[in-house]
Structures are given as C-alpha cells and as structure tokens.
Amino acid sequence: MGKKNKDFVEKITSMEDDFGQWYTDVVKQAELVDYGPVRGTMIIKPYGFAIWENIQGEFDRQFKETGHTNVYFPLFIPESMLQKEKDHIEGFAPEVAWVTHGGDEELEERIVVRPTSEVLFGEYYSKNIHSYRDLPKLYNQWANVVRWEKTTRPFLRSSEFLWQEGHTCHATKEEAEAETNQMLNVYADICENFLAIPVLKGKKTEKEKFAGAEYTLTIESLMHDGRALQSGTSHYLGTGFAEAFDIQYLDKGGKQQYVHQTSWGVSTRIMGALIMVHGDNRGLVVPPRVAPTQAMIVPIAQHKEGVLDKAYKLRDQLKDIVRVNIDTSDKMPGWKFNEYEMKGIPIRIEMGPRDIEKNQVVLVRRDTGEKDFVPMDELQERLPALLEEIQQNLYDKAFAHRKEMTSTAKTMDEFKQTLEEKGGFIKAMWCGKLECEEKIKEETSATSRCIPFEQEQIADTCVCCGEEAKEMVYWSKAY
Amino acid sequence: MGKKNKDFVEKITSMEDDFGQWYTDVVKQAELVDYGPVRGTMIIKPYGFAIWENIQGEFDRQFKETGHTNVYFPLFIPESMLQKEKDHIEGFAPEVAWVTHGGDEELEERIVVRPTSEVLFGEYYSKNIHSYRDLPKLYNQWANVVRWEKTTRPFLRSSEFLWQEGHTCHATKEEAEAETNQMLNVYADICENFLAIPVLKGKKTEKEKFAGAEYTLTIESLMHDGRALQSGTSHYLGTGFAEAFDIQYLDKGGKQQYVHQTSWGVSTRIMGALIMVHGDNRGLVVPPRVAPTQAMIVPIAQHKEGVLDKAYKLRDQLKDIVRVNIDTSDKMPGWKFNEYEMKGIPIRIEMGPRDIEKNQVVLVRRDTGEKDFVPMDELQERLPALLEEIQQNLYDKAFAHRKEMTSTAKTMDEFKQTLEEKGGFIKAMWCGKLECEEKIKEETSATSRCIPFEQEQIADTCVCCGEEAKEMVYWSKAY
Ligand SMILES: [Zn+2]
Ligand SMILES: [Zn+2]
C-alpha cells in the first residue's frame, strides 16, 4: 500500500474494528456535522446540508406530485393541548423540552417544544373542517423537532432533528388507509431509487407503533454492520385524534362524522442510513442521484502550462450534463484524492499534461476504485452512463448485503446463535403476544422491525413460546 | 355596485376606515395565516406558505449565486454562551424563551431558544477557523427563531417567525464591509424586482442598529397607510464577536488576527410588506413573479357541453408558459371571482360558451380590474407580456405612492404637522445626537428609519435642536 492509503488508515477507524467509531470518524472527516453546544444537538455543516437539501428536494417534489401542500405550524405547544390524546402524551412526555419562562416572566402554562405536531394539526383541523367539501386535507411541513434523548449520536438520535411531517384528514377509513400506504410507497421509492437503499415494507407491532396511532407502517433498512434502521414511518391514526380534538364533518347525508387521519415522517436519520449503508473504509460513498457534486476534476501538475485552462474548459463543457466541480487549490493531488474519496464523490476526473497530450482523462469510480482512460470527446456520453452504473451498483451491493444478512430462525437457540454470530435480519414466526416480543428483546436485544407485507410461512409455531404462529416478523438489533 | 362588490364590502374592512383591521381581514380571508395556540405564534396556511416558498426560493438562489452555502445550526443556546457578547445579551435577554426542563429533570443550565444565532456561529467559527486559507466563510441558514414579544401581529411581529440568517467571516474589514453591502443589494434587488416593492437603502442610527454590530444597513419600504417597514438588515459586526468568541486566524505573515464578521437576515415580515404595499379593498394583490398561481381559469356555465373540456385543454396549453390553475368546483362564478381577487391572483381567465364560439377568452387584471377579450391563439404570447406589465405597474404604483408620501421638514412644527396630516417618510436633517433622536420619537412617535446612502442637504441645522446638521435622515412611524 502506498502512502495515500496509509493516510487513510490513520484518518478513520476501519469499520471491522469498531463500527461505531468508524461512523463517528466518517461523520466528522467527511465534514457532515459537528456537535452543538447543548447536549445532543448537531450542527449540519455545508456538505452535510447540501446532501440533505437534495434529499429534501426529492421528497418535496413527490409530496407535491401526490397532491400535498406545505404549511408551517408553530414550534410551541401548550401543555394542556398535548394532554388531550392520552396515549400520545404518555409516549412523548418523558422526552420533551419545557419552556417555562418568557423574558423575565414565568409563564402561566408550561409550553412544550414540539416533539411532533399531531395535536397542533388536530386543533387546527377541528376549527377548519366543517363539511365533506373540506376534505381531504393533505398537509406537510418541513420543521425542526426536539426530543430530549438520553444518549445521542449525530443524525441517528439527536435532541433536535430536522424532518418533514405529513398530516392528512379524510372522509373515510379506506381513503386514509390508501394515503397511509401511498406515502409509505413514496418513502420506499425514494430510498430505493434515489438513495440506493433497499427497504423492507411492513407494519409495526402494537408495541412499536406510534403513540396514538391505530397502526404504523414502516420501511426498514439494513446497515453495513448488520443492524437495522427505521427509515420512515407512515401512521394510520384512525379517529383517535379526531375524537380527542373533535374534528367532525357533515357528510353528504347531513350526518356528523369523525375524520380519519394519517401522519407520516422522514427525518435527518436517513442521513445516518446513507452513511452506514454505502460507506466504506475510505469514508463516505454518496449515490450519484443525491450527490451535490457528482464528478470532481483534479488537475495534475496544474502549474504546468495549459493544464488549468484545459481543466476549466472541461468543467464548463460538462456542467450542464453532470454536477461537476473542480479543485484548483494548491494542495497536493494525493490530498485531494483522499479528500474527495472521504466525501464520497462518485467520480474523480484526473487530468495532467500527458493526458491532455493524448486528449484523454482518467476516470476513477468511488464505489469500486476502478480507473479508466477515457477520450475527452466521449465524456459527455460516458459520464451520465457511468453515474447510472454507479447508482445501480450501490443498490445492488446493498441488496446483496441485506440478502446475505437475512436469516431465518425456528427456535430461540437458532435465533440467538444467528444474531450473535452474524447479526442482520432474522425472519421468525410470532404468535402476536406482547410477552413473546418482550422476551425476545430481553434475551437477544433484537426488536421486532416489521411484520412484512410479503409474508412467508417459515414454521407453524411462535419462535418464542411455541404456540400457534400468526405472522412472520423481521427481527434485528437496531439503531 | 352589483352584488359582487357588495359581498366584498361585507367581507373585509376598507383600508381607509381601519387599516389595521383591513390587514387582519386580508390575512384571514386570503387564507394566509391562522393563530397558533401559544400567544403570538402563527400557522402559515397553504396559500401563505406557497408565497413564502417562492420568496425563499428566490433569496436562496441569489445567496448561492453569490457563493454562500446553507447550513443548519441548533435551536438551543446555553445561557452562558449567549452572555459572551455583552451588547448582544442586553439586547436580546428581555425577549427570549427559556427552556428549564428536559423530560422530568430540571436542567443544570438554562437554555435559550435562539432569537438569532450569532453566538452559535461564533463558537463554531472559533473552533473551525485557523488560517487565512479557511476564509472567507460564507454561511446561511433558513430557520425558525423565537422572540417573546408583548404585542404580536401575524407576519409583522410574532413570537416565532421564519427567516434566513447569513453569517460570514472575512480576513479584512474591507472584505466584510463589501459583503455587508453586497447582501443589502441582494435584498434590495429581490424586493424591487421580484416583490415589486421599492426600498430605501441606508444605514441605521446607533440607537437602531443590531445589538452587537458596528453598524447596520437596512432596506426600508413604505406601506399603503404611510408607515414604514424595515424589510431586511445587513450588519457589519466588526471584530466584536470575534473577540468575545476568540475567532482568530493566522494571516499570510504568520500573525494572529481577528476575523471581521457580517450577519444579515430577511424574515416572514416581508410577507407583511407584500400585503400592505400592494393590497387593496378587494384583498391581496400578489405580483406575478412571486404568485404561486399567475392565472386562474374560471369556466362560465361549465355545465354546458364542451366548456369544461375546452377549459382543461386551455390549462394544458398554458401550463408550461405561466403558472396556471383552474377552478371547476360547483361554486358560482361570482364566488370564484371574489375568491381569487381576495387571493390576489394576477390574471383571471373567464371562458363561457359564447367565448368558445368566438374562440376567445376574457382576461381580467387583478391590479387594475381591466377586462379584455383576447383570441385564444394569442394567449401564449399575451399572457407572459401581461404578467410583466402587471409586475411593472405594481412597482410603479408603489413607487409613486412612496414619492407622494415623502416630505421634507425643516422645523419640528413642520415635522409634526406633516406626520399628523399625511404620514409617510419625512426627510429631515439631524445633528447625530441620541437625545434629538429620542426627543423626536417621544414627541412624534416617528423613529429614524435610515440614514440614506443618497444624501440631500435639506438644511444646515438639525430639525430638532437647531445645531449643525450632520446628515439627512428618513423618519417615519413604523411597523
Ligand atoms: Zn409466542
Ligand atoms: Zn439635534
């Protein structure tokens, strides 16, 4: 290994040695986030935010395409309002931040910094929905929310995070359930086709569902270390909030009816998935569709006559075709190679005096490290094709990894052994009882990730109690 | 006046009768905002947010064009950190919201919900800037901020509002001052050319500058009722925060230097300006460039054969040329006319069976109320031209209004009389002393809006004390 590789070994911990440390190193070295001064808060740095902006843009586009409009609801919720839905307050009270003073004065009523906004939307809908003509309401907001977490990690679990939360009202259960499904599919589509992250689609168990929902649908992805990450959830709320907040409409027959609601959210946690699904020991790997910079031009021997000119010219030729950038700083090419590998930029374009002579460049793929000499006139065609190839390869790799890391278990012994030796997803049958779910968690520290839509009959009996099995569940240790 | 007009008279207060009530009525009837449950907070509804998104998009585009990158810093600031810059904490402490508890536990140190983020950026820059190679830093963030205001009004003064805050660091005073200027010009450009709001550019007095700045540049606009609105500010911070937070860099000569900083912000207040500059007694008037819907098709007698078909066909023909929408609900055309006038949509396209026969439509301008019969084949050409005409007309009207509402005063009597009888901007000379500025405010309730870059020598002496005048100042009652 040359010096270039050695530099890296010093820079970040290898993921095989300590995956947690590898994650922290990548997040820091790729300049994604920094720690905020209040425990568990994060500063999203320019590169991290540029990736988030692209993710946001794609979600926003698809939300609008499916008929949703953006709104902005307040950060602050009066304590009494949060308490209106009993399950909801029980779920969230232990982890909220409380505002008690405004300026010098103590407030008459304590205020909650929103951990999620169901109650605010509930109160609003109650005042603004009167008739079937007012339905459906299809709202979304991009916002910051606060959850006072005990242990925190950038993107994965932070006291404050950014997200979108959709809140919709419908006349019927059928419509609301169709919406719940539709938004899960939007999430899955973006994860798979934009972020190159394969996901499992399914339903959460009663234990793991959102506080206040009838049921929660989820997409679950598998990280490189074999732990799962919940990557987006879509809740069918039924009429629970509608009853608590009195959201009724006059139907076509002149009868008062409660609306059926949904809510759904994706957060900056998805950045954690991006890092842990695609990253490697050289740093971050960003799929081309989401990459702020898809190709980085690094001039070689740039002090030599004509090199910089030619490099800028190339940048200008390519800039309408791919998101291209150029580094003409006086740092060494080796430093630049490392830097942009660490940042996971999909393609590096090297170009020195000898390449210019031959009217070619060197293309280096971030995902495989492969080098290729390409005639300059072919670049306009080759680059977009190569980006697509990288995108597909990242998806395929992640898919193969998940496949390899998915096992089945028919007994608890098998369950424990597989989890310990291999990790990953374990498919096992479940009787549907909370006590088995809790026992599995206690004994293995795996949680139920989802009851997948695509069921398989692995056995007839519950992996835990041996009684009649109701459904197959994906279990895993999780972030 | 027909029934259509009468409906409106009942709907909103006329601005001549009660401008404040007119504002509140428009904000509510045009469905821009609603009140949040915590005092002074606002819910930005779909139409209000769509306008804000367009404004945001244009600012964001120009920030990026001028080399800035977006980041996201935390909502929470530890009390001790806010106290590091003395003037800053004095300015903001009376109006901050305090978080004192997380879950069930009392916090060891109280937390401030950010009223602005200079200190967070200061702390970050202190850790991340080491050498002249790290400069400049050109960061912006879009965020919510909280100021615990005593009296609040939607958009104009709310406990929580949305804004962008730019925070930059530079090696030299010259560079930082150039940045301060540049961003003021970006603000002015967007106000004038995108929002059709003419602005005055100038400097704030010492009394009115940002807490912690060396000086503040401002753009000031004039509302329909003759009161001013500060529409964006750009601060040169000097080295004050750099000294408080120890932000130093090693210059090319190997010497430690403090960085020179700027910060600049525009908020949802600008929505208030948009309403109060262009609105009229029929409601909101949205300039075409910022309008989410630029033209609304209202089919007439839509139950008749072929009308809806033709209307949808027209919508499809136009949708790549202008932002067009269609209302095919079963509401009466008159109701629709009122509704879209209230919402300030620039052009209404009416189209009934007789129009279809003649292969024409009726175009109605929101700004002037003018009607015009236009052959359908000419629409693709006429619509963009008409939108430009409306945009220009709105600017011209606002400019003429400001001109008419700008007076000069050489004595306090003249000052008071003009302000009382006419309102608007008063240009008057000032000696530069705080006591005169305070006296003018006390006696007239006008504040200094700015010391304009374009100075005029109206008199040789201060309008208040009669001593030698230093500069001309724009004074006005303000929001
Ligand atoms: Zn069981
Ligand atoms: Zn004076």
- First CA to last CA distance, chain A: 34
Which chain B residues touch A46 with a CB distance below 8 Å?
A: 69-71, 139
Report the share of chain B in percent with pLDDT over 70.
98
Residue of A41, A45, A75 lying closest to B74 (CB–CB): A41
pLDDT digits (tens, 9 = 90+) for A451-479: 999 999 999 999 999 999 999 999 999 99
Cβ contacts from A onto B, under 8 A = 155
pLDDT-based confidence at A84, cuts 50/70/90?
Answer: confident
Q: Is B82 helix (H, G, I), strand (E, B) or coil?
A: helix
**Shortest CA gap A115–chain B (Å):** 11
Of A169, A184, A308, nearest in space to A235 by CA: A184
Q: Which of B98, B165, B252, B323 to mutate to test the interface with A (most CBs of A within 10 A)?
A: B98
This model of the complex carries an ipTM of: 0.95
Q: String of b and e for B295-305 (b: at least 16 CB within 10 Å)?
A: bbbbbbebeee
pLDDT digits (tens, 9 = 90+) for B405-426: 999 999 999 999 999 999 999 9
Residue of B nearest to A139 (CA): B46
**Shortest CA gap B321–chain A (Å):** 19
**Shortest CA gap B360–chain A (Å):** 31
Asked if the domains at A19-278 and A406-476 fall in one CATH topology, the answer is no
Q: Which residues have C-beta under 5 Å from ligand 2, the single-atom ion?
A: B 431, 436, 462, 464-465
Whether A113 contacts A75, CB under 8 Å: yes
Whether B346 contacts B387, CB under 8 Å: yes
Whether the per-residue pLDDT at B399 is higher than 80: the answer is yes
DSSP H or E segment with residue A297: strand A295-299
Which chain A residues touch B81 with a CB distance below 8 Å?
A: 37
pLDDT-based confidence at A90, cuts 50/70/90?
Answer: confident
Strand pairing report for A324-326 and A295-299 = parallel
Please indicate whether, in this complex, the C-beta atoms of B69 and A75 are within 8 angstroms of each other. Answer: no
Give the architecture-level CATH label for domain A19-278. Answer: 2-Layer Sandwich (3.30)
Residue of A49, A76, A95 lying closest to B71 (CB–CB): A49
pLDDT-based confidence at B6, cuts 50/70/90?
Answer: very low
Most confident residue range from A9-18, A387-396, B93-102? A387-396
pLDDT-based confidence at B91, cuts 50/70/90?
Answer: confident
- First CA to last CA distance, chain B: 34
Which chain A residues touch B33 with a CB distance below 8 Å?
A: none
Structural fold of domain A295-386: Rossmann fold (3.40.50)
Q: What pLDDT sits at residue B158?
A: 95
Which chain A residues touch B69 with a CB distance below 8 Å?
A: 46, 49-50
Angstrom distance (rounded) from CA B88 to CA B93: 8
Please indicate whether, in this complex, the C-beta atoms of A71 and B37 are within 8 angstroms of each other. Answer: no
Whether the per-residue pLDDT at A2 is higher than 50: the answer is no
Q: What is the number of the ligand closest to the CA of A435?
A: 1
**Of all residues in chain A, what percent are helix, strand and coil, respectively (each to 5)?**
40, 30, 35
Beta-bridge partner residues of B157: B153
Whether the per-residue pLDDT at B59 is higher than 80: the answer is yes
Beta-bridge partner residues of A219: A201, A232
In angstroms, the Cα distances linking A373 to A38, B244, B290 are 50, 53, 48
- Quote the ligand 1 centre to A385 CA distance (angstroms): 50
Whether the per-residue pLDDT at B83 is higher than 50: the answer is yes
Omega prior to B375 cis, within 30 of 0? no
Domain ranges of chain B: 19-278, 295-386, 406-476
DSSP H or E segment with residue A425: strand A425-430
pLDDT-based confidence at A1, cuts 50/70/90?
Answer: very low
Whether A343 contacts A283, CB under 8 Å: yes
Residue of A nearest to B48 (CA): A71
Which chain A residues touch B45 with a CB distance below 8 Å?
A: 71
Strand stretches in A150-268, DSSP E: 160-170, 200-203, 215-222, 228-238, 248-250, 256-258, 260-267
Tell me the pTM. 0.95
Angstrom distance (rounded) from CA A324 to CA A318: 7
**Shortest CA gap A104–chain B (Å):** 6
Please indicate whether, in this complex, the C-beta atoms of A101 and B100 are within 8 angstroms of each other. Answer: yes
Q: What pLDDT sits at residue B4?
A: 43
Q: What pLDDT sits at residue A10?
A: 52
**Is A446 exposed, middle or buried (CB count within 10 Å of its CB: 0-12, 13-18, 19+)?**
buried
Please indicate whether, in this complex, the C-beta atoms of A103 and B148 are within 8 angstroms of each other. Answer: yes
Which chain A residues touch B146 with a CB distance below 8 Å?
A: 75-76
Q: What pLDDT sits at residue A210?
A: 93
- Quote the ligand 2 centre to B458 CA distance (angstroms): 14
Angstrom distance (rounded) from CA A34 to CA A36: 7
Of B252, B291, B277, nearest in space to B386 by CA: B291
Which residue in this structure is represented by tokens 């999909």?
Answer: A346
For domain B406-476, say whether CATH 3.30.9.10 is its number: no
Q: Within 10 A of B309 (CB to CB), how many other CB atoms are there?
A: 11
Whether the per-residue pLDDT at B149 is higher than 50: the answer is yes
Report the share of chain B in percent with pLDDT over 90.
93
Which chain B residues touch A70 with a CB distance below 8 Å?
A: 46, 49-50, 53
